[in-house]
Amino acid sequence: MSVTLAMGGGGKETEEFVQRFILPLFKYKSLGSVGLEDMEDGAAIPIGDNKYLVISIDDYTVNPPFFPGGDIGKLAASGSLNDVAVMGAEPKALFDGIVVEEGFKLSDLKKIISSMAEILNSMGVALLGGDTKVMPKGSIDKIVISTVGVGIAEGPLLTLDRARPGDKIIITGPVGDHGAVILALQFGLQVKTLQSDVRPIWPAVKALKEALGEDLRAAKDPTRGGLAMALNELAERSKTTVYLDESKVPMRPQVKEYADMLGVEPLALASEGQAMFVVSPDRVEEALEALRKAGFEEAAEIGEVRKGKPGYVIARTPVGGLRLLEKPSGELVPRIC
């Protein structure tokens, strides 16, 4: 047995790899709150007065490193800060590690770092430190960036296990844009009318925290594995059945066209600038109004949490049928982020 691309794809194989090869080896997996075993987007350390230090780490290997709507720098900065945000924490700081191939254009490296700076500066987030390494030509493909996001959360963390039967599921906007763009580029297709949705999602989280308080139950950004993986994780962690109305899921026609053309489940395509929220059923309209005022005009209610067989996601298709929406499996889109 050897390492496969699917193990790093963010779907079923990634989860199995963590559960089989990582979790059993480490005796200590948390510091009194959310930790490794919880398989959330970040970890949390209690710091008193119902506050938490939230930390998330990720590696970015996207191919190509420049794409319509952004580049690996914008993606790396937004991605780790978004993982902190969906835990309910306001992003405060970032650390980065850049490994670049010898011969990489210095002008391109400057563009990438400038993109990271633009995101951090716009959010008032500090870059507290980092590291840079250069590898001999041919020993790494262009550039890899690792980032550690740090934030502070007050009140309950927005973990997926807080969802309860009856709660409603909201998405901030069209899903799959980022995955469709990278997928098309990797297959050599022209991308003229679509761009990555990569952006910070803290404004959406902040708007809902202020509007709903504890009636905002949980949050998740549907990155690797897309909305399909996010919903399956929600069903598993909350020990519920999740129902999705596919006809209500906002998706651009181009995303579906690319997915159909290349034989990919469109709901498994990554979004890098959207968030999924679980909210109390009587606060849905308030939630949607708050999101639209915060700049997420295409926010929509797409499903609900129900009692039933734990860990299952049932999707109602646009023609009225039902299907089981499973965890994405296999080599979905290698090096998506």
- pLDDT tens column, 309-331: 999 999 999 999 999 999 988 77
How does 182-220 read in b/e, with b if 16+ C-beta sit within 10 Å?
Answer: bbbbeeeeebeebebbbbbbbbbbebbbebbeebbbbbb
- d(CA 317, CA 314) in angstroms, rounded, equals 10
CB atoms within 10 A of CB 138: 9
**Model-wide pTM > 0.85:** yes
Check: CB of residue 333 under 8 Å from CB of residue 186. yes
Check: CB of residue 217 under 8 Å from CB of residue 287. no
- Tell me if residue 217 falls in helix, strand or coil: strand
Contacts of 214 by beta carbon, 8 Å cutoff, 6+ apart: 155, 156
CB atoms within 10 A of CB 131: 10
- d(CA 188, CA 172) in angstroms, rounded, equals 30
% of the chain at pLDDT higher than 70: 100
Residue with token string 């734990």: 310
Confidence of residue 64 (pLDDT cuts 50, 70, 90): very high
* Pair of tokens at residue 46: 């209690």
Of residues 199, 164, 183, the one with CA closest to residue 282: 164
Q: Is the pLDDT of residue 157 over 80?
A: yes
pLDDT value at residue 146: 98
Of residues 2, 3, 6, the one with CA closest to residue 225: 6
Q: Is the pLDDT of residue 242 over 80?
A: yes
- pLDDT tens column, 189-217: 888 889 999 999 999 999 999 999 999 99
Q: Is the pLDDT of residue 280 over 90?
A: yes
pLDDT value at residue 311: 95
Check: CB of residue 263 under 8 Å from CB of residue 332. no
- d(CA 10, CA 335) in angstroms, rounded, equals 11
Q: How many residues does the chain have?
A: 337
Q: Is the pLDDT of residue 137 over 90?
A: yes
* Pair of tokens at residue 66: 């420049």
